[in-house]
Amino acid sequence: MPTHTRRQVLTALGVVAVAGTGALTYRVHDTAALSPGRGDAYDPWRHWRDTPGLPGAVAAAILAPSPHNTQPWAFAIRADAVDVHVDAARHTGSVDPYRREQYIGVGCAIENLVLACRARGLRPDVAWQPDGPGGSRVATVTVRPGPAEGGPLYDAIGDRHTNRGPYTAEPIPAADLDALADPSGLPGLRVRWIAGPGPRAALGRLLVDAAAALCADETQSRDNFAWFRANDEEIQRYRDGLTLGGQGFGPPKLALAKLLPASSRADGDKFWLQQTATVHTATAAAYGVITCATPDDRATQLAAGRLLERIHLTATARGIALHHMNQITERIDRERDAGLTPAFAPRFAELLPAGEHPLLTFRVGRPVRAGAPSPRRSR
């Protein structure tokens, strides 16, 4: 996934050039450079706690992470239940040819929904695919009155952000990593931590190679780039996708990047590769990999989303940053779908116990700076 799309972001020269053309004032307005996170597109982050009952629980659900911030969900609220649907039109094409990440994203939203029901005194019961595997409902969450139970994971919903910035050199002890993952009620899923220097370096190389392969594949590169929102007008209009504000820049670099003209897909790919090598993999304290025996099973994917969101919220509550990095599995699926010789499946398998297939990969560490909110459509 490209993390930057500004041609001259690394150099102040571009700013001078833009200012010299008299376009500076326009760019400041256009990209909302001076007030990141402003506007209706970010409102859901400000109001998710205020709304009672099931509408409030759905307001919390939509703050979940999703692939490329596609928000591929739809909710139908009834008197004592919420029906959860996949919005099939909201996908990343060849980046996710089997819609694995799409279903995982919906699973993340269901985890928030469950936590927010409990916090509102509604005891939730999740039924997966109530109409069977081909039905339009992927889950129904039925509620009945119960005690109001908040807690640190619920409280973390509004602070959880994908943090793509640098992490400090502080290691995270193995016991702290293990304590991030609670797979209770989610059978068939494992979390493998890759923290030792050798395996961590090997996975880092694989992530860099997968990013390069994805960029070299024009179809995947185009499908990646399609979800980038280049300016404030696009952000407020679509309220989805990837933005400069979510790329982990410090304030001076972010302000520079927002002042510069939108760049090309090729420049964005180049910059993502550079960030993957010099920031993402270079500063990861550890990687987590969620594995299972049945990666193509929809119920497993939905459960994996719940587990992923649990991990992300627990990390947030404990001051640990998390960055989803799925380019390896995206290449594994692409190679399979396009009938290419598998390059990445065997290399990833070498780093995992026999018989365990990777579903999701992420890095964790102590953040140098806090993550920033990304836009959301209203529920």
Ligand X SMILES: Cc1cc2nc3c(=O)[nH]c(=O)nc-3n(C[C@H](O)[C@H](O)[C@H](O)COP(=O)(O)O)c2cc1C
Contacting residues toward ligand X, per CB under 6 A: 1, 65-69, 101, 104-105, 108, 161-162, 164, 242, 246, 324-327, 374
Nearer to ligand X, 144 or 222 (CB): 222
Can you read off the two tokens belonging to residue 168?
């400090």
CB-nearer residue toward ligand X: 68 or 200:
68
Q: How far is the CB of 333 from ligand X (least distance, A)?
A: 12
| Closest CB to ligand X among residues 27, 331 | 331
Token duo for residue 304: 């994996």
Question: Please, what is the minimum distance in Å from the beta carbon of residue 30 to ligand X?
Answer: 21
Angstrom CA distances, 108 to 3, 25, 102, 130, 372, stand at 22, 39, 10, 18, 18
Instruction: Give min distance, CB of 22 to ligand X, in A.
Output: 34
Name the residue nearer to ligand X (CB basis): 100 or 120.
100
- CA–CA separation, 237 vs 344, rounded Å? 37
**Residue 18 Cβ, how far from ligand X at the closest point, in Å?**
27
Q: Are 289 and 331 in contact (CB under 8 A)?
A: no
Q: Which residue is nearest to ligand X (CB)?
A: 65
Compute the least distance from the CB of residue 83 to ligand X, in Å. 21
Q: Which is nearer to ligand X, 62 or 82 (CB)?
A: 62
Q: How far is the CB of 303 from ligand X (least distance, A)?
A: 13
Residue nearer to ligand X on the CB measure, 142 or 274: 274
φ/ψ of residue 359, rounded to 5: -110, -40
Lookup: tokens for 155: 């409280």
